[in-house]
């Protein structure tokens, strides 16, 4: 990390494949009988957990070059898995898998690491239970998740929280339920599942905030091209926007409007950003050009934009600290239920650089950093990839040498992060 300090960042780069899309591609390709190829998938701890579990169900997954080839016997030929289905640190794997296992009517126990053990799963178990799934949770809320064989009937479900993981779990279960299921969202969450189900040949109807699908449909094998992950690009975008002399182009990034809230924030902040459209079919793709900006203003975020940038909020706190006036985030209480309580972690760690915050139950106000005041060198990463990369962006842009207790969690979503920064760094 030390070698990255006091540099500027310029050049063209591609970030790794989108994590949400890769999980879904692995699951849908597994459900479809035959061979599907996933091009440019994310190869990281979280997506490997999904791939391994699909293997335990009887699917063959080969990794070669920049693709994964999935050969499936079809979901009706899946085997009851031996042993626990271990989801590691991945909330997406855990929650989507609950829907899939419920739909398949297989018996299984799902368990993850200590972070997953503290994340609420009742938000998925409740709608699946209404469909007829037999799921037991610790204290009615937490993993290990014990699922017994059951058959499902369709439901009409009003989503109490904006969560693509809950929505997707219901849609996976709905594929195998008797009758037509409808999910109503209050606020739109990422829609990769809806887009990809259609690509795999499922008849799914989206009408405003309501999604409907008939049960008893099967998926047809299909190839998937995974775009770059905007949540990973976010770290490079913020670093470039706040580091003197920087000028970077990030190619082929997902521009799905349900994910691209950060672009709106950069515009609100008066950052120097341009988007070049690459494709607008299915999952939209674009190139992102960001230059250092001397005159960042502030942002004020709440309501429907929050799910469109939920995972970028830690690094947006850094951007906010470089603005001219205070920035606000409200309506983001979901951050308290991620890999760690991200609102607490962001504030507890960034105050060590002298950043001032006002904390709310559902967000924060971040003040412009007047003076860098580093109190100690010891920082905590909470084994949370987004917190660790946020800290690295802050440290690198301010030229501060810090020690983070454990940085291995970077491998969860962006294993090449430090290597990519090395590629972009130039002497000042
Ligand atoms: O569906 C997905 O792939 C994801 C949905 C979001 O979680 P929620 O569904 O809990 O909002 C997001 O934070 C997570 O990183 C990935
Ligand atoms: C919250 C995240 O992922 P997950 O819920 O899959 O653990 C994330 O990637 O920031």
Predicted structure pTM score? 0.98
Which of 192, 106, 183, 182 lies closest to 145 in space, CA to CA? 106
Cβ–ligand 1 distance for 165 under 6 Å, the answer yes
Q: Which residues contact 219 (CB under 8 A, 6 or more apart)?
A: 28, 31, 32, 175, 197, 200, 201, 202
Convert the pLDDT of each residue in 20-44 to its tens digit: 999 999 999 999 999 999 999 999 9
Q: At residue 376, does pLDDT exceed 90?
A: no
What does the domain layout of the chain look like in residue ranges? 2-16+227-427, 19-218
Percent of the chain with pLDDT over 90: 98
Cβ–ligand 1 distance for 164 under 6 Å, the answer yes
**Mean per-residue pLDDT, 61-83:** 95
Q: Whose CA is nearest to atom 8 of ligand 2?
A: 311
Q: In the prediction, which pLDDT does 1 show?
A: 81
Positions at the binding site for phosphoenolpyruvate: 19, 91, 119, 165, 342, 386
The CATH superfamily of 19-218 is Enolpyruvate transferase domain (3.65.10.10)
Cβ–ligand 2 distance for 24 under 6 Å, the answer no
Q: In the prediction, which pLDDT does 274 show?
A: 98
| CATH classification for the domain delimited by 2-16+227-427, as one of 3.40.50.2300, 3.40.50.150, 3.65.10.10, 3.40.50.12780 | 3.65.10.10
* Number of the ligand 1 atom closest to the C-alpha atom of 165: 9
Convert the pLDDT of each residue in 199-224 to its tens digit: 999 999 999 999 999 999 999 999 99
> Same CATH fold, 19-218 and 2-16+227-427?
yes
* Number of the ligand 1 atom closest to the C-alpha atom of 166: 9
Alpha-carbon radius of gyration of the chain: 21
Question: How far apart are the CA of 92 and the centre of ligand 2, in A?
Answer: 6
Positions at the binding site for 3-phosphoshikimate: 19-20, 24, 163, 165, 311, 338
Cβ–ligand 2 distance for 91 under 6 Å, the answer yes
Question: How far apart are the CA of 229 and the centre of ligand 1, in A?
Answer: 13
Q: At residue 47, does pLDDT exceed 90?
A: yes
Cβ–ligand 1 distance for 20 under 6 Å, the answer yes
Q: Which of 165, 189, 342 is the pocket-test mutation for ligand 1 (most atoms within 8 Å of CB)?
A: 165
Q: At residue 400, does pLDDT exceed 90?
A: yes
Q: Which of 306, 311, 338 is the pocket-test mutation for ligand 2 (most atoms within 8 Å of CB)?
A: 338
Question: How far apart are the CA of 80 and the centre of ligand 1, in A?
Answer: 27
In whole numbers, what is the pLDDT of the chain averaged over residues? 97
The answer, yes or no, to whether ipTM is higher than 0.85 is yes
* Number of the ligand 2 atom closest to the C-alpha atom of 165: 5
Cβ–ligand 2 distance for 311 under 6 Å, the answer yes
């Amino acid at each position: 990390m030390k070698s990255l300090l006091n540099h500027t960042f310029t050049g063209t780069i591609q970030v790794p494949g989108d994590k949400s899309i890769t999980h879904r591609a692995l699951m849908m390709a597994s459900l479809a009988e035959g061979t599907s190829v996933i091009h440019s998938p994310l190869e990281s701890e979280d997506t490997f957990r999904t791939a391994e579990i699909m293997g335990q169900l009887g699917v063959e997954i080969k990794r070669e070059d920049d693709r994964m080839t999935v050969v499936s016997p079809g979901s009706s030929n899946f085997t009851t898995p031996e042993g626990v289905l271990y989801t590691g640190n991945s909330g997406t794997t855990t929650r989507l898998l609950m829907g899939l296992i419920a739909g398949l009517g297989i018996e299984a126990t799902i368990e993850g690491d200590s972070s997953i053990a503290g994340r609420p799963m009742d938000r998925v178990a409740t709608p699946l239970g209404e469909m007829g799934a037999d799921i037991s949770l610790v204290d009615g809320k937490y993993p290990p998740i014990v699922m017994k064989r059951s058959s499902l009937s369709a439901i009409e479900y009003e989503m109490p929280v904006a969560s693509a993981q809950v929505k997707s779990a219901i849609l996976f279960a709905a594929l195998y339920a008797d009758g037509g299921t409808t999910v109503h969202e209050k606020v739109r969450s990422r829609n990769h599942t809806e887009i990809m189900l259609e690509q795999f040949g499922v008849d799914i109807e989206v009408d405003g905030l309501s999604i409907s699908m008939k049960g008893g449909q099967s998926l047809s094998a299909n190839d998937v091209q995974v775009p770059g992950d905007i949540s990973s690009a976010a770290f490079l975008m913020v670093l470039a926007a706040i580091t003197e002399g920087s000028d970077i182009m990030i190619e082929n990034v997902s521009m799905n409007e349900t994910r691209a809230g950060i672009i709106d924030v950069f515009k609100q902040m008066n950052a120097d950003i341009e988007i070049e459209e690459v494709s607008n079919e299915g999952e939209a793709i674009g190139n992102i050009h960001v230059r250092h900006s001397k005159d960042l203003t502030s942002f004020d975020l709440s309501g429907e934009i929050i799910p469109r940038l939920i995972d970028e909020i830690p690094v947006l706190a850094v951007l906010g600290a470089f603005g001219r006036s205070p920035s606000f985030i409200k309506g983001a209480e979901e951050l308290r239920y991620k890999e760690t309580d991200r609102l607490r972690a962001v504030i507890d760690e960034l105050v060590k650089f002298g950043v001032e915050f006002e904390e709310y139950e559902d967000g924060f106000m971040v003040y412009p950093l007047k003076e860098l005041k580093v109190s100690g060198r010891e920082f905590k990463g909470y084994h949370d990839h987004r917190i660790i990369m946020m800290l690295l962006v802050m440290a690198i842009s301010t030229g501060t040498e810090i020690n983070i207790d454990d940085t291995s969690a970077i491998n969860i979503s962006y294993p090449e992060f430090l290597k990519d920064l090395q590629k972009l760094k130039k002497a000042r």
